[in-house]
């Protein structure tokens, strides 16, 4: 290190002799925290670093997603410090959490929903501290940041942060009761983030234990073993930031049906087209209607459509379905039957037909693949339209005994 100093810049005077543009470029390699510490610990550098407006403008955009304008009479350095006054403890996660919130906002705007009606104003630090005192635990910083931006959700019908799920003609809003900080409940070292008593709940681990690592996001259903009085606890994400950022990105692919955002993330890879008939699949884990304690239910949502620009001669009616379901051990189960969920829809230019069904998964995952048989309405010819293969994935889980 000494040898390197003797060959390079070993005094403040040498550093200050560099062109301002060069110093700006060097400072951009520092974290904002390091740049602030440098300006505060080196009196010679303090006035120079404060005047690096381009550097602090970049920092404001990178850390706070703020691109201006500056307050009247202020500088980008002062603007950055102003953000620190209100959000300083969230410097490392603010951009990720705010960006995910913005993606959620965008989706609600696209579906003609007013986010100002759906989400509560952000919680104050005092409210969060009171909640932590009541719980007896410190909340993860990223979850605190999440609540600072919006403190829970209004109970608006079909306006769930987590999307609405259609399960065999039953509508489920998982996020209609997104809990504000004042209503957070704690048990088993887990804080329940959703106050949804009937179905699944999302929980955040605040105390490491035999079943959870600190910061993990869990979900569980009301399925219990009865005699053992335990619940099946699934791991959804290793941290709240990972979970919410993934949700924000998935939210963009959720289909909007009759103005309702449905919780089925679509993949651009899970799509197939045959003779103008486009078939797309989205899946969602939902351990609510399990047949017994050793299996889990995964829902799938299929959209069958034809572009309005296709020829009318391609109009065809779905008459049968053919599935092959295989598990991780290679066991296969063939399924055949007429139509889909009791329907034999005619798919013509401009038609969009959707339906929801599900499959019970006894291990970690199953693979569904198959095809629909169609008959052309003009020629009477039958043909097979491939359904893109899709996985039904069950998040890893453990059984956790409930306190007596």
pTM assigned to the model = 0.77
Give yes or no for a contact between 256 and 110, defined as CB atoms under 8 angstroms apart: yes
Q: Is pLDDT larger for residue 143 or for residue 3?
A: 143
Give yes or no for a contact between 283 and 266, defined as CB atoms under 8 angstroms apart: no
Q: What is the pLDDT of residue 126?
A: 94
| Least trusted range by pLDDT, from 117-121, 146-150, 222-226, 230-234 | 222-226
Q: What is the pLDDT of residue 61?
A: 94
Residue 38's closest CA among 58, 21, 55? Answer: 55
112-145 residue pLDDT tens: 655 555 678 899 999 999 988 988 888 899 999 9
372-389 residue pLDDT tens: 999 999 999 999 999 999
Mean pLDDT is highest, among 103-117, 173-187, 226-240, 263-277, for: 263-277
CATH level 2 (architecture), domain 2-90: Up-down Bundle (1.20)
Q: What is the pLDDT of residue 327?
A: 82
In CATH, which of 2.60.40.1470, 3.90.1660.10, 3.30.450.20, 3.30.1600.10 is domain 267-395? 2.60.40.1470
Q: What is the pLDDT of residue 183?
A: 64
Q: Is the pLDDT of residue 147 over 60?
A: yes
Q: What is the pLDDT of residue 46?
A: 76
Q: What is the pLDDT of residue 177?
A: 46
Joined together, the tokens standing for residue 222 give 């009301």
Q: Is the pLDDT of residue 64 over 90?
A: yes
165: CB partners within 8 A, 6+ apart: 171, 172, 173, 174, 262, 263, 264, 284, 286, 299
Q: Is the pLDDT of residue 264 over 80?
A: no
CATH no. for 95-250? 3.40.1580.10
Q: Hey, do 95-250 and 267-395 end up sharing a CATH topology, with the first three levels equal?
A: no
Return d(Cα 77, Cα 54) in angstroms, integer: 9
Q: Is the pLDDT of residue 169 over 50?
A: no
Q: What is the pLDDT of residue 69?
A: 87
Q: What is the pLDDT of residue 386?
A: 96
Q: What is the pLDDT of residue 149?
A: 94
Residue 390's closest CA among 284, 281, 254, 253? Answer: 281
Return d(Cα 72, Cα 84) in angstroms, integer: 18
**Rounded mean pLDDT of the chain?**
79
| Least trusted range by pLDDT, from 117-121, 327-331, 346-350, 400-404 | 400-404
Joined together, the tokens standing for residue 236 give 């959804």
Q: Is the pLDDT of residue 203 over 90?
A: no
Q: Is the pLDDT of residue 400 over 80?
A: no
Residue 54's closest CA among 75, 37, 33, 36? Answer: 75
Q: Average pLDDT of 27-49?
A: 78
Q: Is the pLDDT of residue 163 over 70?
A: no
Q: How confident is the model at residue 174 (pLDDT cuts 50, 70, 90)?
A: very low
266-316 residue pLDDT tens: 777 789 999 999 999 988 887 555 555 667 788 898 999 999 999 999 999
Distance of CA 43 to the CA centre of its chain: 45
Query: What residue ranges do the domains of the chain occupy?
Result: 2-90, 95-250, 267-395
Q: Is the pLDDT of residue 236 over 60?
A: yes
């Amino acid at each position: 290190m000494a040898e390197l100093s003797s060959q390079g810049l070993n005094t403040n005077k040498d550093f200050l002799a560099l062109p301002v543009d060069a110093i700006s470029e060097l400072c951009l390699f520092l974290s904002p925290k390091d740049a602030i510490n440098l300006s505060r610990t080196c009196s010679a550098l303090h006035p120079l670093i404060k005047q690096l407006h381009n550097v602090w403008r970049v920092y404001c955009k990178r850390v706070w997603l703020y691109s201006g304008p500056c307050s009247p009479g202020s500088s980008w350095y002062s603007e950055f410090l102003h953000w620190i006054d209100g959000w300083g403890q969230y410097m490392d996660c603010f951009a990720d959490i705010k960006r995910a919130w913005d993606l959620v906002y965008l989706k609600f705007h696209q579906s003609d929903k007013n986010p100002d009606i759906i989400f509560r104003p952000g919680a104050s630090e005092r409210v969060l501290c009171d909640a932590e005192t009541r719980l007896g635990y410190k909340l993860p910083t990223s979850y605190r940041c999440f609540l600072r931006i919006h403190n829970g959700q209004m109970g608006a019908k079909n306006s769930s942060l987590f999307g609405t799920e259609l399960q065999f003609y039953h509508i489920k809003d998982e996020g209609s009761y997104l809990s504000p900080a004042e209503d957070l409940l704690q048990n088993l070292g887990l804080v329940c983030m959703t106050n949804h008593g009937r179905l699944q709940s999302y929980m955040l681990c605040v105390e490491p234990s035999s079943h959870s690592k600190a910061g993990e996001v869990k979900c569980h259903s009301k399925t219990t073993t009865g005699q053992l009085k335990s619940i099946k606890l699934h791991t959804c994400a290793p941290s709240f930031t990972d979970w919410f950022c993934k949700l924000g990105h998935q939210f963009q692919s959720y289909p909007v049906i009759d103005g309702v955002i449905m919780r089925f993330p679509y993949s651009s890879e899970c799509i197939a087209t045959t003779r103008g008939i486009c078939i797309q699949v989205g899946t969602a884990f939902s351990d609510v209607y399990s047949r017994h304690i050793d299996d889990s239910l995964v829902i799938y949502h299929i959209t069958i459509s034809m572009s309005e620009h296709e020829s009318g001669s391609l109009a065809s009616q779905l008459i049968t379905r053919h599935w092959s379901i295989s598990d991780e051990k290679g066991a296969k189960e063939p399924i055949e039957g007429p139509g889909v969920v009791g329907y034999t829809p005619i798919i013509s230019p401009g038609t969009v037909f959707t339906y929801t069904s599900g499959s019970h998964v006894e291990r970690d995952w199953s693979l569904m693949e198959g095809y629909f048989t169609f008959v052309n309405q003009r020629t009477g010819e039958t043909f097979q339209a491939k359904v893109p293969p899709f996985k039904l994935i069950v998040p890893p889980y453990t059984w956790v005994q409930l306190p007596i």
